[in-house]
Amino acid sequence: MTRKIIIDCDPGIDDAVAIAMALFDPRLEVLAITAAAGTVGASQATTNVTGIVGQLDPPRYPRIGKATAADNPPVGDDNVLHGSDGMGGCNFEPSGRQHQTPSEKVISELVHQNPNSITLVCLGPLTNLARLCRRDPTAIPLINNLVISGGSVSHPGNASPTAESNMFYDPLSADQIFDSATTKSLVPLDVTDQVQFGVELLEKLPSRFTRAGSLLHKILPFAFRMAHRHLGRELISLYDPTTLLAVLEPELFQWSSMRGKVEHRGSLTRGTTIFDQRLRPEWPVNMEVAMSVDASEVQAAIIRSLRYAGQES
């Protein structure tokens, strides 16, 4: 049986890689890809989702949700590693559709149509999910599982000294989702930053003459150049593809039941994820958290998935 999923994301180079994997994986039925502001603003995020799907031209097109601006975004952006358009200069043309459906409405409609059978894969800030909680609370119990890319347990942040970028962008929404009555799996930086690739990854991609290969050969060299230029690193981490593997092959990860909260009041600690790790935890458990990963197996699985996408595109 295929697993029905919705991908909620803020593309983003690693989001695009995860989308390419998901759209051609026979184990998945991607019902929708819903855009969120984060790596880029709301309008660009929607353009990027539409452009990625159009470039890949999958056998079955998912619904696309329109991003709307977050209520309290941080000053600054995450464009330095992704380019001004978030996609390494792909510069997709905006969709000509005038009346796109907001992301949270798309999610609401689909979970009501498919109760208890959709996994929501959250690869960006949790803005859309928090809005869904407020506008249609009856939809939340109908989601089978949330798999969230973000946060950190003991790893340094990548948006601030203590905060991961998805949580940093909209910490109030993240805290609301952490507290929501849903089954949640969190894949934090502690794990996703272990799955790293060197430039030899480019030699293992599908041919640039395939649709998937054409996209990947545009965006991934840019990611390597920016990591070298701005971080002094020769390796890149593919956070969102690793999170997708946690959906497909959870046995490659070690999980721990924990209680997580997100700091949204502190000026220095905005978006920091905090877990009760005392010898006698007092906070009730609200999620499972990936604590370690078989990095080499996940790396190999990502490469296999991308090559398969190239064969199918």
Looking at residue 76, what is its pLDDT?
Answer: 65
What is the band of 280 on the pLDDT scale with cuts at 50, 70, 90? very high
Looking at residue 313, what is its pLDDT?
Answer: 78
For 101-132, write each residue's pLDDT tens digit: 999 999 999 999 999 999 999 999 999 999 99
Mean pLDDT for the stretch of residues 149-163: 96
Mean pLDDT for the stretch of residues 256-284: 95
Q: In this model, does residue 80 exceed pLDDT 90?
A: no
Mean pLDDT for the stretch of residues 221-229: 96
Looking at residue 73, what is its pLDDT?
Answer: 87
Mean pLDDT for the stretch of residues 132-147: 95
**Between 75 and 100, where is the model more confident?**
100
Q: In this model, does residue 77 exceed pLDDT 70?
A: no
For 226-268, write each residue's pLDDT tens digit: 999 999 999 999 999 999 999 999 999 999 999 999 999 988 9
What is the band of 153 on the pLDDT scale with cuts at 50, 70, 90? very high
What is the band of 87 on the pLDDT scale with cuts at 50, 70, 90? very high
Looking at residue 293, what is its pLDDT?
Answer: 98
Mean pLDDT for the stretch of residues 204-223: 97
The pLDDT mean for the chain works out to: 95
Looking at residue 95, what is its pLDDT?
Answer: 75
DSSP states along the chain: -PEEEEEEE---HHHHHHHHHHHT-TTEEEEEEEE-SSSS-HHHHHHHHHHHHHHH--SSPPEEEBP---SSPPSS-SGGGT-TTSSTT--PPPP--S-PPBHHHHHHHHHHHSTT-EEEEE-S-SHHHHHHHHH-GGGGGG--EEEEE---SSSPPSSSSS--HHHHHSHHHHHHHHTSSS-EEEE-HHHHTT-EE-GGGGGGSPPTTSHHHHHHHHHHHHHHHHIIIII--S-EE-HHHHHHHHHH-GGGEEEEEE-EEE--S-SSSTT-EEE--SSS--SPP-EEEEEEE-HHHHHHHHHHHHHHHHHH-
Q: In this model, does residue 209 exceed pLDDT 80?
A: yes
Percent of the chain residues topping a pLDDT of 70: 98
Q: The domain 3-312: what is its CATH number?
A: 3.90.245.10
Mean pLDDT for the stretch of residues 149-175: 97
Looking at residue 78, what is its pLDDT?
Answer: 56
Looking at residue 25, what is its pLDDT?
Answer: 97
